[in-house]
Amino acid sequence: MNFSGQLSLILCLDLIIDILAGLEEAHQHNIIHCDIKPENILLSLTADKWIGKVTDFGIAKTIQDSSNNQLGSGYTGSPAYMAPERFYGKYSYACDIYSVGIILYELIIGERPFSGLPGDLMLAHLNQRINIPDRVPNLLKTIIFKALEKLPQRRFLSAQEMLEAISLAKSQLNLEQENKQLFTFINCSNFTPKINKLRDINLSEKITFIEHNKNNVYLTTQNKLIKFCSNFKEIDTIHFDNNIKKIIILSQGCVVLTKKKSENIDQYIFDYLPEHKSFNKPQSCLELKAKELEFASNSQGDWLAVISRPNNDSINAEFSILNLQTLSLLNSPKPCPFPSQLIALNKRYGLAVFSRLSEDNKRTYLYLFNRRGQFIKGFSVPLFLSELTPNKANTYELFSIEAIKPNYGILINLNPFKLTRIPLEFVPDFMMEETWGYGLADTTGKLLLLDREGDYIGKTDLGIEITAITGLNDHQLLIATWENEKAKLFILDIDLVEKI
């Protein structure tokens, strides 16, 4: 998991405390690690921090071995993190303390104290004093200087002693009172988009959804679907008897899900609206009775995946894959847990998302399935995620928001599996995906653009109530707003070429 921002100070110190705790355990068993470096620290992620664990004891020595050291017998290890005496084949517990001091310096300052080729590094470790910027608190300067003493007997006597010194510094610097942010925010330039108001669309209802394909733009209100052509001339409008719950835009039309409530069990109604036909009174293509339901369809409209739970008392739900054109089953319905979301990734595969929240387990499970309804591979993320949004350029890249800490975005790459955690300056109400990256907005008008790596592109505050947002192309966003009891549409011209 990575991010190009700077880790907050309290979490830097927490990681060092974790490393020192692991080393103290090893030292208690007379083991000297001999190769402490970032690559040998495993990180596990919780909802609000990372936990560090020391690993790779491949060149570790015992304290009994150290008594048999032969001066000048050479060294093995990583020169950037090695104590001076290690270059002469000498090692002790103090060598590990020195390596932790280098990591502490690097975490706080952002770079190692010494750099260069192995020979340059050896000379620097042996002879060069370190420089610590004035912005580093004096309490931490003292700890770093002591950990990086050239003579081992002048360093901390044990990992436990250094751990206690850092814990005391945390307390005296009042870091425990900090709001634990995984990262500090990155400076991001404001941009001023050119705003083009479209003609009045004469709607006295809020627009709740906007999306488009190559031919048309679709927007919805509570129970109305409106289709525009590419120049935003209204083509067709259709009214539904029940509220629209979800809509999926396909390359040649759309699928609309409405819900009819009843006392005992709800009725979910699917309507498939082909692009080449005019809207008429909706003819239900599929009706299902269930307490809960999730569905997804691939953009080409080949298949429809549906998972429904018959009642609240049922643990399992029923998973079916249908041919959207004929509504015939492509698989025999199978029992499975009920997901929080279904996502169509491409013509062959989809993704089922299972979010689990308990006192001991905050985790999201992601399972790939094929168009035969078979689950074929699973991943898990130690976070409770809200709705995931796949990228248009690569559907194996997804963006999500942490449900418990919604001021963090999560970028997920499924192949190869990779997580990037991104601090956000506001809690987004809307997410949109484009080939260049992601747009995040809230109802007050704040807008933030991220590239596909999760890096900030730009931000702005439109100062208007946003009700829906989508990307039209690489240079334009389409935004629905609500002003003076009227719905309005705006096109925002954005220049990303210079900012990416």
Fold of 9-177: Transferase(Phosphotransferase); domain 1 (1.10.510)
Whole-model pTM above 0.85? no
Q: What percentage of the chain's residues is helix, strand, coil (to nearest 5)?
A: 20, 40, 40
* Residue 117 reports pLDDT greater than 60: yes
Which pLDDT score is estimated for 201? 72
Question: How do residues 446-493 score in pLDDT, each as one tens digit?
Answer: 999 999 988 888 888 989 999 999 988 888 899 999 988 899 888 888
Question: How do residues 249-296 score in pLDDT, each as one tens digit?
Answer: 888 888 899 998 877 788 898 888 888 777 776 665 788 888 889 999
* Residue 148 reports pLDDT greater than 80: yes
Question: How do residues 344-380 score in pLDDT, each as one tens digit?
Answer: 999 899 999 998 877 667 889 999 999 888 998 888 8
Which pLDDT score is estimated for 197? 66
Tell me the mean pLDDT in the region 312-339: 84
Which pLDDT score is estimated for 250? 84
Top pLDDT among 65 and 158 is at: 158
For the chain, the straight-line distance linking the first and the last C-alpha, in angstroms and rounded, comes to 22
Tell me the mean pLDDT in the region 107-133: 92
> What gap in Å lies between CA 310 and CA 453, rounded to an integer?
40
Which pLDDT score is estimated for 70? 53
Which pLDDT score is estimated for 132? 94
- Long-range Cβ pairs for the range 402-411 (8 Å, 24+): 402/47, 403/355, 403/357, 404/47, 404/357, 404/362, 405/47, 405/48, 408/182, 409/438, 409/440, 409/450, 409/454, 410/381, 410/383, 410/385, 411/453, 411/454
Cis check: omega of the bond before 390, within 30 degrees of 0: no
* Residue 199 reports pLDDT greater than 70: no
What is the CA 3 to chain-centroid distance, rounded?
10
* Residue 429 reports pLDDT greater than 90: yes
Which pLDDT score is estimated for 67? 59
* Spans of all domains in the chain: 9-177
